[in-house]
Each structure stands twice: as structure tokens, then as C-alpha cells.
């Protein structure tokens, strides 16, 4: 008997837990910074509404209809499309290998904050903490291991007692603390510059690369394209209103991304850092914000706990993609499936951490293994998976069957005609156009 979520709220929190993660707190602010600010934010919001919400609906509908893992979902409808499900499972290994590396960094930062060594406004000292971590293979491996173990322990406990239970309390606390930190950041002198940067668009900054980055960021942030939402949808009972969930999850996720932007970017300006700093942005600037507030160390500790929570509620959804494949298709027990999948991710993930440290330069073309995983996850894998999903639902499953599934919980899907046109024509064409740019950029980075 397949386990179900205990309630709609349980599902929404778990799915929002999957969506809200390092993509919001760490990646979104620095990606905004590297792509010119306000115009990127505006494009991002547009994409969430036009592509993100319709595809969220597509994914959870596919999951609930088939009640199977991503692999089984495609296979059960048309065997020839099994490869898309297989792609999802393979992606989950690569993305989690990358994600757990950064998850490890957040654990290390939590420890540093706990020992009182993090909170300072001295930007050189902050840069040194980050650099020291990056050049310490021992620390990188140790913290990544802990992160993966925590992920595995939750997934071992199953849907209700594991994923739903932990997502519920971790997500609720995350919201409260993020708001407190944002208020502090916004009241710093000089923060207005940051707010302007986030919300006043300069369209001269928009290039095809910016569009590609916005789309990649959106799929990553909404956990769409490799099967997390299909998998979570497969644990939904037939009573649940899918429309409501498909709108709520992206709205919550996007709100957290914007709040994280508001917590981090104004502080970057207030302390004279560069918003285009890149992946180290959250790790180098936020401690300076904490240093400027009363009880800063306490806030820093709490903040990093919450980043860890956000990261773990996402990583469990990635692991669940692979675990549910083994449970459904290979008839493995949940325990065995979790051990096997975590093992594979570990073997892929440790070299990624090491490739950063400079001691073991593992490169593929011109990219370190870590950068390769990062580029693949942010720009290629999820976008490709999402492209296949729209074609599949638009032309193989057919919108009318998906609509019947949505309406089976006695609701009327008023926007069904618009949604059908979107999944059949608009989204595949739009995603494909941007995807070509993604592949071009990716191969350029790899070989030039």
C-alpha cells in the first residue's frame, strides 16, 4: 500500500520544503547579483507565472495520476518515454552530489558561528573563512558526509514519519527567522541602494544569457524537471485539490526567494561588497550583517540552522526520487533503497568537494567537477527534463486526460483551455528556444 501525505497542508509544506532551499537562500541572491539586478527579478517573476505554475500543475498531476515514481510515471503511460523517467533518476544523483557539497558548507558555517568565530564586519576575515574551508579537503568531506547522512536518515523513515514531519517543523521555523533577519537587513543604513538594485529594472542588462539563467534558476528553485514534484505528487490522495497546491507552492517559494534577496542584497550594499561576488555571497556578506546587530552571534547560529533546514527539506526530495524508483521498480525495501542511493551519491559527491579544494584538481574540460555539476544542474538537466515533460503531457498523455485527473477531486478547472495551449505549444517552444542557448553556453564553458 502506497503511503499518502496526512493532509493537503502536509503535502504543501513538504513540496514547499523541496522548493525552498539553497536555490532561494544562496543561489537566488547571487544570481540576481550576477545578472544585473531588477530586470532579472522581473523576468524571473514573469517566468514563474507563465511557465512555473503551469508546469508545477503538470508535474503533480502526472504523479498523482500514476501513483508511481518518476520512472514508473513515464513508463506506465508510454514505455517509449521511460528514458525521461530514467533521466530524472540520473539527474537526482548528480544534483544531490552537487547540493550536498554546498549543504556541507552550511553545516561548517553553523559550526563556525557556534564557536563565535564567524561574526565580524571585517571583510578580509570573512573572505578568509570561506577560502580556508574551500582549501580544506578534510572539512569539505566531513561536513558533506554529515549532510548526506541526515538526508538519508529522514528518507529512511518514509513519507509521513520522515519527510512530512520534518518538513513541517523545519519550514515553519524558517519563515519566522527569515522575516526577522530581513527586517534587520532593511533597516541598515545604506540598504536603499540594494532595494533599488533589486526592484528597479535596467533592461539594457538583458541578454539571452540572462534569460537562460532566469529559466534555469526557476526550474531549480521550483524543483521542477527531474521528478521531485512528480514523486511527491504520487503520494497524494485523490481528494486533494491540485490547482490550489500548484499555485501555492510556487508563490511561497518565490516569496522566500524575494525575501532572501531583501535580506542579503541590501546588506551587500550597506557593507560595500559587490553583488556580483558569486557563490560566496551569502557566506561572506551575511555574517557582516549579523555582526552589526545585537545578539549577532545568536542570529547567525539560528540563521545557519535554518539554511540547513531549508537545504535538507530539499535534499530529501531529491533522494526520494531515486529511492522511490528502487522501491517501485526494483521492489527493494526502503532501507536498502536509501542505503544504495546514498552510497552512489556519496561516490559522486566527494570528488566534487575535492575538486574545489585545489589539492585534487578533478577537471572535465575547463570546468572543475563541482562547476560541471553546478552548470549541469542549474542550466541543463532540469530544463531538459521540463522540456520533455511538457511534450509528454501535451502530446502523449494529452491535456484532456490530465484535466480529467485534476477535476477528479470534484473541482472545475476553469483555465483548462489556456493551460492546454500552454503545455502543448507555448511552453515547449519557449523552453526549447532558451535551452539551445543553455547548451551553447554550457559547451562554451566546457571547452573554451
User: For binding to ligand PFF (CB under 6 A), which residues are involved?
Assistant: 18-19, 21-24, 95, 220-221, 223, 226, 228, 314, 317-318
Tell me the closest approach of the beta carbon of residue 313 to ligand PFF, in angstroms. 9
Nearer to ligand PFF, 185 or 314 (CB): 314
Among residues 109 and 271, whose Cβ is nearest to ligand PFF?
109
CB of 381 to ligand PFF, least distance (A): 9
Compute the least distance from the CB of residue 221 to ligand PFF, in Å. 4
Q: Which is nearer to ligand PFF, 81 or 93 (CB)?
A: 93
CB contact at 8 A, 85 and 227: yes
Q: At what angle do helices 191-199 and 165-186 cross, to 10 degrees?
A: 120
Between 22 and 181, CB nearer to ligand PFF: 22
> What is the closest distance, in whole angstroms, from the C-beta atom of residue 39 to ligand PFF in the complex?
21
Nearer to ligand PFF, 32 or 270 (CB): 32
User: Closer to ligand PFF at the Cβ: 296 or 385?
Assistant: 385
CB of 53 to ligand PFF, least distance (A): 15
> What residue number has its CB nearest to ligand PFF?
23
CB of 223 or CB of 375, closer to ligand PFF: 223
Shortest Cβ 442–ligand PFF spacing (Å): 18
Closest approach, Cβ 92 to ligand PFF, in A, equals 7
Least distance in Å: CB of 19 to ligand PFF? Answer: 5
66 or 221, CB closer to ligand PFF?
Answer: 221
Amino acid at each position: 500500500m502506497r503511503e499518502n501525505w496526512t493532509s493537503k497542508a502536509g503535502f504543501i509544506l513538504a513540496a514547499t520544503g523541496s522548493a525552498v532551499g539553497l536555490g532561494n537562500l544562496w543561489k537566488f541572491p547571487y544570481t540576481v547579483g550576477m545578472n544585473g539586478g531588477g530586470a532579472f527579478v522581473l523576468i524571473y517573476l514573469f517566468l514563474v507565472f507563465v511557465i512555473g505554475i503551469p508546469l508545477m500543475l503538470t508535474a503533480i498531476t502526472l504523479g498523482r495520476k500514476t501513483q508511481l515514481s518518476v520512472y514508473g510515471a513515464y513508463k506506465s503511460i508510454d514505455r517509449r518515454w521511460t528514458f525521461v523517467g530514467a533521466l530524472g533518476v540520473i539527474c537526482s544523483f548528480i544534483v544531490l552530489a552537487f547540493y550536498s557539497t554546498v549543504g556541507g558548507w552550511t553545516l561548517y558555517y553553523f559550526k563556525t558561528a557556534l564557536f563565535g568565530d564567524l561574526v565580524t564586519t571585517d571583510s578580509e576575515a570573512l573572505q578568509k573563512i570561506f577560502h580556508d574551508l574551500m582549501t580544506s579537503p578534510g572539512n569539505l568531506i566531513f561536513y558533506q558526509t554529515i549532510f548526506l547522512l541526515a538526508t538519508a536518515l529522514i528518507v529512511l523513515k518514509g513519507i509521513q514519519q520522515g519527510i512530512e514531519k520534518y518538513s513541517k517543523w523545519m519550514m515553519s521555523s524558517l519563515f519566522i527567522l527569515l522575516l526577522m533577519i530581513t527586517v534587520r537587513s532593511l533597516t541598515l543604513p545604506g540598504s536603499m541602494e540594494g532595494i533599488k538594485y533589486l526592484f528597479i529594472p535596467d533592461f539594457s542588462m538583458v541578454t539571452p544569457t540572462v534569460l537562460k539563467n532566469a529559466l534555469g534558476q526557476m526550474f531549480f528553485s521550483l524543483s521542477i524537471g527531474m521528478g521531485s514534484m512528480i514523486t511527491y505528487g504520487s503520494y497524494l490522495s485523490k481528494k486533494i485539490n491540485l490547482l490550489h497546491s500548484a499555485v501555492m507552492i510556487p508563490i511561497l517559494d518565490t516569496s522566500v526567494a524575494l525575501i532572501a534577496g531583501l535580506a542579503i542584497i541590501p546588506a551587500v550594499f550597506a557593507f560595500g561588497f559587490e553583488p556580483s561576488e558569486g557563490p560566496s555571497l551569502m557566506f561572506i556578506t551575511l555574517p557582516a550583517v549579523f555582526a552589526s546587530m545585537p545578539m549577532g552571534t545568536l542570529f547567525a547560529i539560528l540563521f545557519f540552522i535554518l539554511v540547513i533546514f531549508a537545504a535538507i527539506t530539499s535534499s530529501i526530495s531529491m533522494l526520494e526520487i531515486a529511492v522511490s524508483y528502487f522501491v517501485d521498480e526494483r521492489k527493494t525495501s526502503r532501507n536498502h533503497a536509501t542505503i544504495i542511493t546514498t552510497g552512489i551519491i556519496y561516490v559522486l559527491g566527494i570528488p566534487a568537494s575535492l575538486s574545489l579544494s585545489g589539492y585534487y584538481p578533478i577537471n572535465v574540460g575547463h570546468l572543475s567537477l563541482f562547476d560541471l555539476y553546478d552548470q549541469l544542474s542549474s542550466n541543463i538537466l532540469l530544463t531538459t527534463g521540463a522540456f520533455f515533460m511538457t511534450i509528454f503531457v501535451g502530446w502523449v498523455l494529452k491535456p484532456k486526460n490530465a484535466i480529467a485527473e485534476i477535476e477528479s477531486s470534484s473541482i472545475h478547472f476553469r483555465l483548462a483551455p489556456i493551460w492546454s495551449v500552454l503545455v502543448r505549444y507555448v511552453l515547449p517552444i519557449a523552453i526549447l528556444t532558451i535551452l539551445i542557448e543553455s547548451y551553447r553556453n554550457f559547451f562554451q564553458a566546457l571547452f573554451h
